[in-house]
Structures are given as C-alpha cells and as structure tokens.
Amino acid sequence: MKRRKFIGTSAAASMGILAYNNANANSSRKLANNQLKGNINHSACRWCYSSIELEDLLKSFNDLGIKAMDLVGPKDWPLLKKYNVHSSMCNGAEIGLTEGWNDPKHHETLVKNYIEMIPKVAEAGYTNLICFSGNGKGMNDLVGLQNCVTGLKQIIPTAEKHGVIIQMELLNSKVDHKDYMCDNTLWGVELCRRLGSDNFKLLYDIYHMQIMEGDIIRNIQDYHQYFGHYHTGGNPGRNEINETQELFYPAIMKAILATGFKGYVAQEFIPTWDDKIAALKEGVSICDV
C-alpha cells in the first residue's frame, strides 16, 4: 500500500472510530435521562442475564425504558405483567436447538407442544413463538427443508387462528451451533416461501448471520419481509455491540427502520462487564436510532 493511501485510510478509520464513540456517548446520556426516541422497540434476552433475579432484572428494564423481554415461557409471564414488560419472543414449545422440525421423528411431539402452546401465547396477549430447524445429522438440506414444511404445516392453521407468528431462528453452524440446518438466510427464506403464511417468519440473528454470510444490511433490505424479529450480538464473541467488535449497529438499525419494521429488536449479547445492566444500557443506547 502506498504511503499516501495508507495515511488517508488510517485517518478515515480514526474518524470512523471517533464518530462511533461520540455517537455512543451521546446515546448513553440520552438513555440516562430515559429519553428513548421510540423508533426501535427494544427488548433483551432473559438468558444473557441469568445471574440476575428475574424481578430485579424487570425493575432494571423499567428504569431503562426497555419494554419487552425475549425467551421467557408461561411460568414467568405473570411477573412480566406485574412490571408491564411484554414477552416479545415466547418459548417453551420447542424440544431443543438440535432436535427440530427437520426430523420427522420429532413431529408428533412438536406438533402437540405447539398446538398446546399457541393458544396460551395468544391468551396472554403475546404474538411471537420461537422454533428451530434442528441439526442436519447427515441429512440433505433440501430433504430437511421439505421435512420442516411437512411438520410446520400441521401447526400453521392454529397459529393463523390465534394470531401467533411462529419464528424460526437463524443460527450459525460455524462457531456456536455445529450442524444446525437453518444457518443461512436463503434456506430460511425458501422455507417461508414454501409455507406461504404470514404467521411464519424468521428470527434474524445479526450476530449469527455475520458469521455465516455477512452482508447484513443488504440481506435486511432484500429479505426483510421474511424477518419477524431481530437479535443483536457483537462479533466475534457475542459480547458487547460497541466499538470492540466489527458490526456497526447504528447503521444496521437504520436499515431495519427503513424497511418499515414495527417488531422488536432484542439485545442478545453476553455482557463481559461486571455491571451487566450498564452493558445492557449501552447496547440499547447504540441501537436507539
């Protein structure tokens, strides 16, 4: 690289980092005054703060202005209602991440679980219910795709009847979830197309898809109609989403807003700070565009 080009590139990078840090500082001050803009519906995943008692965590959500919590099931909903925190992504019907809809031997159990859970979700006033493809275990991707279609078609009418959206999460199979089948946007989009229902969508996890394919903003622009929910996370490591990692979340959030998305964006990074709530506060402030 020529010296002049190197100096120009370095200066641009430095200015980019400075702009990022200034944006974070301004956002943190705004959040400290509980002045969220209201453009993004903020949520955060329960499991990332499992060391904090749920009631204490809900109080912190109230203090920060976070209106929803992800990945909680029926036993915790009464406490969420006490603190007026919405359950933005319900769970409890799935078998697990590795045993999912791509394997017909699980269909009987999964259909029973979801047929029972969907009305509970709706009765509680919630909309989203998570599901998983399962691992491939040597299965051809197209066979697994059709198996998912066959199984999910048995519960979609119930979801449509109750106004519940079944959402399959996109996970990476490179680092965290080896052999997971729904590990790329196009596979998930094809599943949505074959099911042909507005009550089935993809949970687009930005961290996981950065690992598998990148091009996050373009994929949001091209396939947003199939995305019903978003998760954050810093890459590499799934930690804080600040300048310590490679994704620029303010731009990603603006791209999501530009699609007209009205659902929830849930923080799903694993805090490394001793003060986990302060880390959450920063993450929300970064995304509050």
In angstroms, rounded to a whole number, what is the distance separating the alpha carbons of residues 89 and 48? 14
Structure tokens that stand for 95 in this block? 């078998």
pLDDT single digits (tens) 142-169: 999 999 999 999 999 999 999 999 999 9
pLDDT at residue 168 in the model? 98
In angstroms, rounded to a whole number, what is the distance separating the alpha carbons of residues 217 and 256? 8
Structure tokens that stand for 96 in this block? 């697990």
pLDDT at residue 83 in the model? 98
pLDDT at residue 22 in the model? 53
pLDDT at residue 35 in the model? 82
Share of the chain above pLDDT 90, in %: 88
pLDDT single digits (tens) 27-86: 444 454 458 999 999 999 999 999 999 999 999 999 999 999 999 999 999 999 999 999
Task: Please check the confidence at residue 179 and state whether its pLDDT lies above 70.
Answer: yes
pLDDT at residue 54 in the model? 98
Q: How many CA atoms lie within 13 A of 167 on its CB side?
A: 29
Q: Is 37-287 a CATH 3.40.720.10 domain?
A: no
pLDDT band at 9 (very low <50, low <70, confident <90, very high): very low
pLDDT at residue 34 in the model? 59
Task: Please check the confidence at residue 26 and state whether its pLDDT lies above 60.
Answer: no
pLDDT at residue 77 in the model? 98
* CB atoms near residue 51 (< 10 Å): 8
pLDDT at residue 17 in the model? 46
What are the extents of the domains in the chain? Answer: 37-287
pLDDT at residue 30 in the model? 46
pLDDT at residue 21 in the model? 54
pLDDT single digits (tens) 180-225: 999 999 999 999 999 999 999 999 999 999 999 999 999 999 999 9
pLDDT single digits (tens) 107-123: 999 999 999 999 999 99
CA 28-44-208 angle, to 5 degrees, is: 100
Residue-wise DSSP of the chain:
--HHHHHHHHHHHHHHHHHHHHHHHHHHHHHHTT---SSSEEEEEGGGGTTS-HHHHHHHHHHHT--EEEEE-GGGHHHHHHTT-EEEEE-SS---SSS-TTSGGGHHHHHHHHHHHHHHHHHTT--EEEE---B-TT--HHHHHHHHHHHHTTTHHHHHHHT-EEEEEP--TTTTSTTBS--SHHHHHHHHHHHT-TTEEEEEEHHHHHHHT--HHHHHHHHGGGEEEEE--BTTTTB--STTSS--HHHHHHHHHHTT--SEEEE-----SSSHHHHHHHHHHHH--
Higher-scoring residue by pLDDT: 26, 63: 63
Peptide bond into 236 cis (omega under 30): yes
CB proximity list for 212: less than 8 A, separation 6 or greater: 170, 172, 173, 174, 183, 184
